[in-house]
Amino acid sequence: MNLQQLRYLREAVRRDLNLTSAALALHTSQPGLSKAIRELEDELGITIFVRHGKRLTHLTDAGRAVIVIVERILLEIDNLKRSSSDWHNAQVGELRIAATHTQARYSLPPAIARLRADYPEVTVRLHQGSPSQIVAMIRLGQVDLGIATEAIGQQADLDSEDLFSWYHCAVAMPSHPLCRLEKVDLKALSEHDLITYDPQFAGRAHIDRAFNEARLKPRIVLEATDSDVIKTYVRLGLGVGIVSELAISPEDESEGAPQRLVRLPIERPFARNTTRVAFLHGRILRRYEQALIEAMKY
C-alpha cells in the first residue's frame, strides 16, 4: 500500500468513478491509475468498486467505509506538509479562499491587505461562489478556507469559526417616499418595491423570516447575489435595497456624493447574521491562515 494509491482512489471517487478524468486531473496515465486501484483492492482484499464489464458503476459498502478512512489519511498527510512548512518558512505559501461576493468585496479586503503586509510571500487566490458552492470547493480541496454567512456552520465534515456579526440595512435614494418617515417598519417596507439578495446569500433567510412572521408579503422586484448590483439598481430608482451594512460605506451616504444613498431608520432590525469561516474537519491551519482569521474577527 502506498500514498499514491490512496490519492488515486480519492480522485476516482471525486470524479464520480471516471478513471480517465481522474488520471487527467492527476497528470498521470489512465492505465496506471487503473492498475494502482486494482492493486490496492487486492492488497486490502476487498472490492471497492462495483464493475459492470469495464465500467465502474458504483461503490461497494466496503468501498464507502474505506474511502472515509482514506480521506482522513490524506487530510493528515496534508496537515503534515502544511505543519512542516510552517516550521521552516512560515511566511511563504499560497492561501486559497472561497467567499461570497459580499465578503470578498467588503469584509475580506482589509484582512487580506493586512495579511499581505505581514506575509508578503503568501499568494492569495480568491474564489467566489454561492455558499453551497463554497462548501463544495472546501470539500474537494480546491480552497483552504471558505467564508460565508449561510449554510456554513452546519456541515458535519467541516470545522468552522465565528468571525463577526452584522445586520441588514435598508437603503434608498433621497427622493424615495420612505426617506420622509421617522421610523420605517416592516409593513412600510412591504408596501414598496424591494431589492435584495438571492435566497442562498447573505442572510436572505432572515429577511424572509421577518416578513413571514409579520404575515407580510414583501414585493421583491429584484434579487442579486451581489451587494454592488443591488446598490446599482437602488440608484436607478428601482426600489429600496436591503443589503448588508458591510456594503454601505460612508461615501455612499455622504451629502456630496453624486448618487447618494440614504439609510432608512428601520424600526427593528432583521435578525443578526454571523459570518463564519470553514475548512475541512481536522485540518491544521497554517500560521498565516490563523492570522487571516484573527484579522477578520472584530
Partner DNA sequence: CTTGCTTACGAGACTCGTAATAATT
Partner DNA sequence: AATTATTACGAGTCTCGTAAGCAAG
Binding span for its own copies by CB under 8 A among 44-52, 170-178, 196-204, 286-294: 44-52
Please state, as a whole number, how many other Cβ atoms lie within 10 Å of the Cβ of residue 2: 11
Count CA within 13 A, CB hemisphere, residue 186.
18
d(CA 267, CA 273): 17
Count CA within 13 A, CB hemisphere, residue 218.
24
* 95 binding partner (options its own copies, DNA, none; Cβ < 5 to 8 Å by kind): none
Placement of cell 454592488 in the chain: 228
Rounded to the nearest whole angstrom, what is the least distance from the CB of residue 8 to DNA in the complex? Answer: 8
CB 56 within 8 A of CB 47: no
CB 149 within 8 A of CB 273: yes
Q: Mask of contacts with DNA, 21-50, x by CB under 7 A?
A: ------xxxxxx-xxxxx------------
Q: Find the binder of DNA among 9, 13, 17, 264 (CB under 7 A).
A: 17
Q: Mask of contacts with its own copies, 242-281, x by CB under 8 A?
A: ----------------------------------------
Nearest alpha carbon to residue 81 among 96, 97, 93? 93
Binding to its own copies in span 51-110, by CB under 8 A:
61-62, 65-66, 69-70, 72-73, 76-77, 79-81, 83-85, 87-89
- Please tell me what DSSP assigns to residue 297: -
Rounded to the nearest whole angstrom, what is the least distance from the CB of residue 74 to its own copies in the complex? Answer: 9
- Cα 11 from chain centre: 22
Binding to DNA in span 49-108, by CB under 7 A:
51-57
Contact residues: its own copies, CB under 8 A: 1-3, 44-46, 61-62, 65-66, 69-70, 72-73, 76-77, 79-81, 83-85, 87-89, 284
